[in-house]
């Protein structure tokens, strides 16, 4: 959430950056400033009236002590009138503060200086890439056919048990999932990230803190009886670990990694682009989260990008890194890099990771702060990234490594998987 003071002091900059993000309601900026003016006026009126109550109350004691009961009684009547006036002022102030808060959360985060101008994914800028696109043997097939051939994933069974988008991993397919999760976590903890295993459901405050509410409410599964949300990503519970906390500067940076299943309704998703593992309602992901000093967040963003890049390189997958344009970025992000890997059988690029800097947009909502060298409380910056999302990584590993003899397992995974190949033998 943006800060009102920043908006007031940098109104033209805010409007310009909202334009880069193609935000459709720039008039909200003036509405926010007008509501803040009302809030200030009502606060002043409330404080002035309360001061009169306090002053008159002190006079009453002095008048009573001097024996001037008539004057004391008159002052009591004034105090009663002042107190009666406080109620409506307080109600108006609370109403304006709520309206201000409700309007503030409608503004997205401002894109950083290095975010490309653009409206669609076609305007994203490729930063770099690596790896070689494999040349598959004749008769090679996409991963959903490989899953059936080698009895790795049963999409129909998942549809029977739950519905479309909830696959059942079987046999070596389940083992490969487990191998990927273990490898990703070990790769991250070796780089200094602390492993967490958070809840898979969160309360409303947690979903609000990371920006899923009110922006993405329709994309989450909701448990009505208990007012909980199934998490769309580990980012939500892990970042909220430090909600309402004030950290010491010596504790920074905070680096966390977590494996969780992720649940997304993905309303309106259909067609060939969502076949197989390309888009699911439940999937597994290993996440990275960092909390850092504001002056270090963009350097840390680049470090996290390199970290994810090395992980993809270790799997031998062809990849590219995209700097997302303003119109293709998420609501809460200040800058995002997407990683895509090439699916040889489908002949298309599939997104497998997003690494984002949120600056203080999330931490302002969650009040995650640190004491600086002057002893003042300052908002931290939050960052996160997928390291990695499993479904499309698994799809590309199966497709790109298929041979007439079976599916080769990348060397980095072999000790976790227990074999160098998947075959029917």
Residue 114 lies in a domain: no
Whether 185 and 93 map to the same domain: the answer is no
Q: What confidence tens digit (pLDDT) does each residue in 351-402 have?
A: 999 999 999 999 999 999 999 989 999 999 999 999 999 999 999 999 999 9
Residue 302 lies in a domain: yes
What is the DSSP track for 201-252? EE-HHHHHHTT-TTTTGGGS-EETTTTEEE-SSTHHHHHGGGTT-EEEGGGP
Mean pLDDT of 317-326: 98
Annotated binding site for L-serine: 233, 264, 287, 384
Q: Give the span between the Cα atoms of 371 and 405, in whole angstroms.
A: 60
| pLDDT (0 to 100) of residue 355 | 98
| pLDDT (0 to 100) of residue 171 | 97
More confident call, 75 vs 47: 47
Residue 272 lies in a domain: yes
Q: How confident is the model at residue 271 (pLDDT cuts 50, 70, 90)?
A: low
| pLDDT (0 to 100) of residue 425 | 67
The answer to whether residue 272 scores a pLDDT higher than 80 is: no
Whole domain around residue 262: which residue ranges? 121-422
Whether 79 and 42 map to the same domain: the answer is yes
- Three-point CA angle 216, 9, 242, nearest 5°: 45
Residue 115 lies in a domain: no
Annotated binding site for ATP: 264-266, 351-354
Q: Are strands 246-248 and 222-223 parallel, antiparallel or unpaired?
A: unpaired
Q: Which of 79, 104, 129 is the last residue of a domain?
A: 104
What is the DSSP track for 70-138? HHHHHHHHHHHHHHHHHHHHHHHHHHHHHHHHHHHTTSPPPP-TTPPP-SSGGG-EEEEEES----PPT
Whether 24 and 162 map to the same domain: the answer is no
Whether 288 and 397 map to the same domain: the answer is yes
Q: How many domains does the chain have?
A: 2
Contact criterion met (CB below 8 Å) for 368 and 291:
yes
Q: Give the span between the Cα atoms of 179 and 368, in whole angstroms.
A: 34
Whether 331 and 189 map to the same domain: the answer is yes
Q: What CATH number did the domain enclosing 11 receive? A: 1.10.287.40
Whether 156 and 84 map to the same domain: the answer is no
Whether 82 and 167 map to the same domain: the answer is no
Whether 156 and 62 map to the same domain: the answer is no
| DSSP one-letter code for 296 | G
| Rounded percentage of the chain residues whose pLDDT exceeds 70 | 98
Annotated binding site: 233, 264-266, 287, 351-354, 384
Q: What confidence tens digit (pLDDT) does each residue in 70-100 have?
A: 888 888 888 889 889 999 999 999 999 999 9
Q: What confidence tens digit (pLDDT) does each residue in 92-101 have?
A: 999 999 999 9
Residues paired with residue 93 on neighbouring β-strands, in sequence order: none
How far lies 312's CA from each of 127, 128, 218, 316, 393, in Å? 15, 13, 32, 7, 9
Q: What CATH number did the domain enclosing 154 receive? A: 3.30.930.10
Whether 132 and 78 map to the same domain: the answer is no
Q: Which of 78, 104, 130 is the last residue of a domain?
A: 104
Whether 48 and 144 map to the same domain: the answer is no
Q: 330 in helix, strand or coil?
A: coil
| pLDDT (0 to 100) of residue 306 | 98
| pLDDT (0 to 100) of residue 267 | 59
Residue 304 lies in a domain: yes
Residue 109 lies in a domain: no
Q: What confidence tens digit (pLDDT) does each residue in 152-184 have?
A: 999 999 999 999 999 999 999 999 999 999 999
Report if pTM > 0.85: yes
Choose the weakest-confidence range: 190-204, 227-241, 273-287: 273-287
Q: Give the span between the Cα atoms of 1 and 14, in whole angstroms.
A: 13
| pLDDT (0 to 100) of residue 372 | 92
């Amino acid at each position: 959430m943006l800060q009102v003071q920043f908006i007031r002091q940098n109104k033209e900059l805010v409007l310009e950056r909202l334009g880069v993000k193609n935000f459709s309601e720039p008039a909200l900026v003036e509405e926010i400033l007008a509501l803040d003016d009302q809030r200030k006026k009502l606060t002043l009126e409330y404080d002035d009236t309360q001061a009169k109550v306090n002053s008159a109350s002190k006079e009453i004691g002095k008048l009573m002590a001097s024996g001037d009961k008539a004057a004391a009684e008159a002052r009591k009547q004034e105090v009663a009138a002042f107190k009666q006036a406080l109620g409506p002022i307080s109600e108006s102030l609370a109403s304006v503060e709520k309206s201000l808060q409700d309007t503030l959360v409608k503004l997205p985060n401002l894109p950083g200086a290095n975010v490309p101008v653009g409206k669609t994914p076609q305007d994203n800028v490729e930063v770099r890439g690596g790896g070689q696109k494999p040349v598959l043997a004749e008769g090679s097939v996409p991963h959903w056919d490989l899953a059936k051939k080698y009895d790795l994933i049963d999409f129909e069974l998942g549809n029977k048990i739950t519905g479309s988008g909830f696959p059942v991993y079987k046999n070596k397919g389940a083992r490969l999932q487990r191998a990927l999760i273990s490898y990703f976590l070990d790769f991250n903890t070796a780089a200094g990230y602390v492993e967490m295993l958070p809840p898979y459901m969160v309360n409303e405050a947690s979903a609000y803190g990371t920006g899923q509410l009110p922006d993405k409410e329709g994309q989450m599964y909701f448990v009505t009886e208990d007012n909980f949300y199934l998490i769309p990503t580990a980012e939500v519970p892990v970042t909220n670990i430090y909600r309402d906390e004030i950290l010491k500067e010596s504790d920074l940076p905070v680096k966390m990694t977590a494996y969780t299943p992720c649940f997304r309704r993905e309303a309106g998703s259909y067609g060939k682009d969502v076949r197989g593992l390309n888009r699911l309602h439940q999937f597994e992901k290993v996440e990275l989260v960092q909390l850092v000093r504001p002056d270090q967040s963009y350097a840390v963003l680049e470090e996290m990008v390199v970290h994810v890049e090395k992980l993809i390189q270790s799997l031998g997958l062809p990849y590219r890194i995209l700097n997302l344009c303003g119109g293709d970025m998420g609501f809460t992000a200040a800058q995002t890099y997407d990683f895509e890997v090439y699916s040889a059988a489908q002949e298309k690029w599939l997104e497998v990771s997003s690494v984002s800097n949120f600056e203080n947009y999330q931490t302002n909502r969650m009040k995650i702060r640190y004491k600086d060298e002057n002893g003042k409380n300052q908002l931290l910056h939050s960052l996160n990234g997928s390291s990695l999302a499993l479904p499309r990584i698994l799809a590309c590993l199966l497709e790109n490594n298929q041979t007439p003899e079976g599916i080769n397992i990348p060397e980095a995974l072999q000790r976790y998987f227990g074999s160098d190949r998947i075959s029917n033998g």
